[in-house]
């Protein structure tokens, strides 16, 4: 089989490798689609993410779908949950498997991801795809799961108001979820014009270029401040905007991953407004909800896929994603 491994920052190489051998409880999958995520771009640019550093050539890719070649449910098309929690640590036992202290995650650290023809993965982490969802939509279920988890952390009440700062794929999915969850008004902020257009198409009532907005404009633009603001850009400017766009006593959900592994904001802004700040760590057990939302058409995943590449062009796919000229870039190993 072929696999694309990251050897150093900007150095992604395709090579022939032995096929993986499934262990007890695993299935062998033929990978059909892999989404390129913002966290993959951190590995690509920095050879790491946060405090995790590249210590061996790593197969990237955690947004994935495939077909079961060997194991339970052979022949089924499945979405792949990329997180393998230990199941025994305190967070796992408390129901927070996304906070597992010994978690293994596809395309991160020592756990190879999905940019390859074949992968072995625990059978219980494979979710069968409905017939009306494509393999690409199956891969995008992972960022949808992150958006669902962020929405859960926002505690939005029916008829509440929301701000989304950053309209990459997860921000755009959040806009759709906020509409499905009964938000009365959604205001989005995004510097890239083509993403502002899609944000409006997906249901944002107003979409603004943050570079053309001052802090004094925010009360009027948000109706006196949103009940909850979701930051999905990974920049201090977006964090500060989200805080200024939230009403006193509101919530701010931080989901962006900063380049420097540091997030800073004016303490007085958060303190004087009495804001509650929540941090997004991947997702908890939300795949069944994500699949149902996509299957029923309440969330449009297909419209997010803007670029498709074969596995031989994986480096070009990551480069295209880094240029941010589209929305979701996917790699389809079968070509």
Burial class of 63 by CB neighbour count within 10 A (0 to 12, 13 to 18, 19+): buried
Report the candidate in 35, 12, 18 with the shortest Cα–Cα distance to residue 309. Answer: 35
pLDDT score at 92: 96
Q: Six-digit token pair at 180?
A: 């499905």
Per-residue pLDDT 10s for the chain (335 aa) are 999 999 999 999 999 999 999 999 999 999 999 999 988 998 888 888 888 888 899 999 999 999 999 988 999 999 999 999 999 999 999 999 999 999 999 999 889 999 999 999 999 999 999 999 999 999 999 999 999 999 999 999 999 999 999 999 999 999 999 999 999 999 999 999 999 999 999 999 999 999 999 999 999 999 999 999 999 999 999 999 999 999 999 999 999 988 888 899 999 999 999 999 999 999 999 999 999 999 999 999 999 999 999 999 999 999 999 999 999 999 999 85
pLDDT digits (tens, 9 = 90+) for 167-212: 999 999 999 999 999 999 999 999 999 999 999 999 999 999 999 9
DSSP state of 107: T
- Could you name the CATH architecture of 2-133+301-332? Alpha-Beta Complex (3.90)
pLDDT digits (tens, 9 = 90+) for 51-88: 888 889 999 999 999 999 998 899 999 999 999 999 99
pLDDT score at 335: 58
Whether 80 contacts 65, CB under 8 Å? yes
d(C-alpha 314, C-alpha 241), whole Å: 35
Is 0.85 surpassed by the pTM of this model? Answer: yes
Whether 34 contacts 139, CB under 8 Å? yes
Domain ranges in the chain? Answer: 2-133+301-332, 145-279
- % of the chain beyond a pLDDT of 90: 91
In CATH terms, is domain 145-279 a member of 3.30.70.260?
no
DSSP state of 108: B
Contacts of 258 by beta carbon, 8 Å cutoff, 6+ apart: 234, 235, 236
User: What radius of gyration do the chain's Cα atoms show?
Assistant: 20
């Amino acid at each position: 089989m072929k696999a694309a491994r990251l050897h150093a920052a900007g150095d992604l190489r395709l090579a022939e490798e032995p096929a993986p051998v499934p262990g007890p409880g695993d299935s062998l999958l033929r990978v059909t689609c892999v989404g390129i995520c913002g966290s993959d771009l951190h590995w690509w640019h920095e050879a790491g993410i946060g405090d995790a550093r590249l210590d061996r050539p790593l197969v990237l890719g955690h947004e994935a779908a495939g077909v079961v070649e060997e194991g339970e449910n052979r022949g089924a098309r499945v979405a792949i949950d990329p997180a393998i929690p230990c199941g025994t640590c305190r967070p796992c036992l408390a129901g927070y498997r996304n906070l597992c202290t010994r978690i293994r995650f596809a395309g991160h650290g020592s756990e190879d991801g999905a940019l390859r023809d074949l992968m072995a993965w625990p059978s219980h982490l494979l979710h069968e795809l409905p017939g009306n969802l494509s393999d690409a939509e199956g891969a995008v279920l992972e960022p949808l799961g992150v958006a669902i988890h962020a929405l859960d952390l926002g505690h939005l009440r029916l008829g509440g108001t929301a701000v989304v700062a950053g309209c990459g794929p997860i921000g755009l999915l959040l806009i759709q979820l906020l509409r499905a969850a009964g938000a009365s008004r959604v205001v989005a902020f995004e510097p890239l014009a083509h993403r502002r257009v899609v944000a409006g198409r997906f249901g944002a009532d107003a979409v603004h270029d943050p570079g053309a907005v001052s802090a004094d404009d925010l009360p009027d633009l948000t109706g006196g401040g949103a009940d909850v603001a979701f930051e999905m850009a990974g920049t201090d400017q977006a964090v500060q905007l989200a805080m200024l766009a939230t009403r006193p006593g509101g919530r701010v959900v931080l989901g962006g991953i900063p380049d420097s592994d540091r997030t800073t904001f004016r303490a007085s802004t958060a303190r004087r407004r009495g804001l509650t700040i929540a941090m997004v760590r991947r997702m908890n057990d939300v795949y069944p909800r994500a699949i149902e939302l996509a299957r029923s058409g309440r969330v449009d995943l297909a419209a997010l896929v803007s670029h498709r590449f074969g596995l031989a062009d994986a480096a070009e796919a990551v480069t295209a994603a880094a240029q941010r000229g589209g929305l979701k870039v996917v790699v389809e190993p079968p070509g």
